[in-house]
Structure 1
């Protein structure tokens, strides 16, 4: 499964979700968007689950790698 990585730690908060949605829309079915973030993106998970039909919520994973580093995997159906 192919993955695209997007590091959001230096992106202003107001620009993050639009950037994520744009990157996710560019994925092909079966690919994954990997996000590196400074907090757990739980609100994003709920947003994607509610608004994006091609988001595979069952395949979503998040790993805490440090106090300010979370890596989330958002798979596309």
Structure 2
């Protein structure tokens, strides 16, 4: 069984669409589901956006931390 309801590989999208796709994917998660974000750099600015927009309603767990690939499990509470 897959532990992720969705996977977003950020490098597949143009820069102006990345965050839009990520937030849309998160919005479509049901409570207790998680998505996997795969990126080529540490998405710290994205985490700050999640904290500003969804404070207390998400989890953020690094599955892989670089140096060239980052994977983050983002869960919906």
Q: Which TM-score band applies after superposition, normalised by the shorter structure?
A: 0.7 to 0.9
Q: Unaligned regions of 5+ residues in structure 2, if any?
A: none
How many residue pairs end up in the alignment?
74
Runs of 4+ in 1 over 4 A off after TM superposition: none
- CA offset digits 1:27-75 (Å, max 9, x no partner): 000001110001110111110011125632xx311222x5321101111
Structure-2-length-normalised TM-score: 0.82
Provide the aligned C-alpha RMSD in A.
Answer: 1.9
Say yes or no: does 1:33 pair with 2:35. Answer: yes
Flag structure 1 segments of 5+ consecutive residues without an equivalent.
none
Moved more, 39-48 or 2-11: 2-11
- Normalised TM-score (structure 1): 0.82
CA drift of 1:2 comes to 4.0
Aligned partner of 2:69 in structure 1 is: 69
